Amino acid sequence: MHYFEIKKGWLWCEGVRTVDIAKKTGTPVYIYSHRTLAEHYLKMDEAFSATEHLICYSLKANSSMAIVGSLAKLGAGADIVSGGELYRALRAGIPAGKIVYAGVGKTPEEIEAALRKGVAMFNIESMPEAEAINRIAGKLRKKVNVAFRVNPDVDANTHHYITTGKKENKFGININLALNLFIKAHRKLNNLNVTGVHIHIGSQITKIEAYVRALLKISALIKKLRGAGLDITSLNIGGGLGIIYSNESPATPAEFAEKILPVIHPLGVSLIMEPGRFIVGNAGILLTKVTYVKNGESKNFVIVDAGMNDLIRPSLYDAYHNIIPAQPASGKMKADIVGPICESGDFFGKDRTLPSLKADQYLAVMSAGAYGFSMASNYNSRRKPAEVLVKGNKFFVVRKRETYEDLARGECLPENL
């Protein structure tokens, strides 16, 4: 579901014609629909209204201040994985008490900053990390709520780079070792309140069965933990709910809730969720302009002004993003849509059938709101693109395109080299 729509050949975002944005900001530009992301958040909130829950938006999907701030206003918490995300979440208005801190490699400095700010909870991934948090909390004379991330060893049937809940993945604590580890931490690490269990089994999951399988295992674990005297009060089920990129038919939040709540309800825990892609994925597009059309012997190439540095998902995961013209176009051609970067992997789509394109035509790479800008880089010394948030018939440039000076910020040329 989203509010990008073609009307008489023009692509609109809510009440704004996307080409009008491009004329002001230039291209490439990320364009986000506020209404789309707000509705996604509210749908999820509504689906779980029968149970005590907190939606901690996963900043890694898109940590742009305007996006995080919009969700903060709706009441969202945050799932963070670095000191930088902590800074952004707080600055965008998410209260520390609604922030959960995950990640396999939190540094002592990051742990200390999060403790000082008073985050709600740490999701811990190993015993050495638990010991570090315990030590630092002790130094600060604090006691902190923690969950251990358990690896339930289920296959979420998604791309191998984004499946995380199998035992060969680096994430979490093997479910068979979890009981002893929880007990040890509970008994020995006195500055930790071991109150939660966390799982995250992968991303872009379209079938709920894997969640149910994982949750049944976790439910058995929680019962054993309670039997051993631990007061487990929260269950964090991570993120991962899939979206439509081409012809997927992912579960809706209501279907998701209907399938998993029967397993969760009897546990009497408060529920934490960490959706990222589901909230912002379809709420954003990358608008780009054709620079050249190159007709080759066996292939046509449409060369656009966005590159893999702006949106790396097709190059990195072979991910499919629909590509459509943002202004009227006729005829028909088959082509690879590629960027200007010096790598064969710099493409957005291969063998796509599109109207006949020529230079200066605007194209939209759809469903680019999640893991788009947040994974952008300056490769080839390209400036990161501008970002625009549309609300109704207004649009706001929420991040300016980088300047060339930005590219060299913080660098120096040592004298007497």
d(CA 272, CA 18): 36
Q: Are strands 362-365 and 323-325 parallel, antiparallel or unpaired?
A: antiparallel
- The number of CA neighbours under 13 Å toward the Cβ of 82 is 6
Question: Nearer Cβ to ligand LLP, position 301 or 317?
Answer: 317
| Angle, alpha carbons 12-23-10 (nearest 5°) | 25
Stretch that binds ligand LLP, among 134-142, 200-208, 262-270, 409-417 (CB under 6 A): 200-208
Rule CB under 6 A: which of 204-223 touch ligand LLP? 204
Identify which of 354, 242, 334 has the alpha carbon closest to the alpha carbon of residue 288: 354
Positive or negative: CA dihedral 105, 276, 376, 387:
negative
Whether 342 sits among the annotated catalytic residues: the reply is: yes
User: By C-beta, is 23 or 170 nearer to ligand LLP?
Assistant: 170
- For position 102 contacting ligand LLP by CB under 6 A, the verdict is yes
Decide: is 240 part of the binding site for ligand LLP (CB under 6 A).
Answer: yes
Please identify which residue in 27, 70, 82, 203 interacts with ligand LLP, judged by CB under 6 A.
Answer: 203
Q: Is 274 in the site for ligand LLP (CB under 6 A)?
A: yes
Minimal distance, residue 276 CB to ligand LLP, in Å: 3
Residue 98 as a binder of ligand LLP (CB under 6 A): the answer is no
Q: Looking at this protein, which amino acid is placed at residue 11?
A: L
**Binding residue for ligand LLP (CB under 6 A) from 19, 162, 179, 244?**
162
- If one asks whether residue 321 binds ligand LLP (CB under 6 A), the answer comes out as no
The answer to whether 371 contacts ligand LLP (rule: CB under 6 A) is: yes
How many other CB atoms are found less than 10 A from the CB of residue 223? 13
Q: What is the rounded distance in angstroms from the CA atom of residue 349 to the CA atom of residue 332?
A: 16
* Binding mask of the shown chain, residues 10 to 49, with x at each position contacting ligand LLP by CB under 6 A: ----------------------------------------
Residue selected from 28, 239, 250, 339 as contacting ligand LLP according to rule CB under 6 A: 239
Q: Does 244 bind ligand LLP (CB under 6 A)?
A: no
Kindly give, in sequence order, each residue whose CB lies less than 8 Å from that of residue 189, ignoring residues fewer than 6 positions away: 130, 131, 134
Q: Does 58 bind ligand LLP (CB under 6 A)?
A: yes
CB of 24 to ligand LLP, least distance (A): 28
> Dihedral sign, CA of 272, 156, 62, 21?
negative
Please count the residues of this chain forming the interface with ligand LLP, following the rule CB under 6 A: 22
- Residue 53 within binding range of ligand LLP, rule CB under 6 A: no
The amino acid occupying position 301 is F
Do residues 74 and 38 lie in contact, with contact meaning Cβ atoms separated by under 8 Å?
A: yes
Is the Cα dihedral 62, 67, 71, 76 positive or negative? positive
| Angstrom distance (rounded) from CA 283 to CA 410 | 33
| Binding residues for ligand LLP (CB under 6 A) | 58, 60-61, 79, 102, 162, 200, 203-204, 238-241, 274-278, 313, 317, 370-371
Catalytically active residues, by annotation? 342
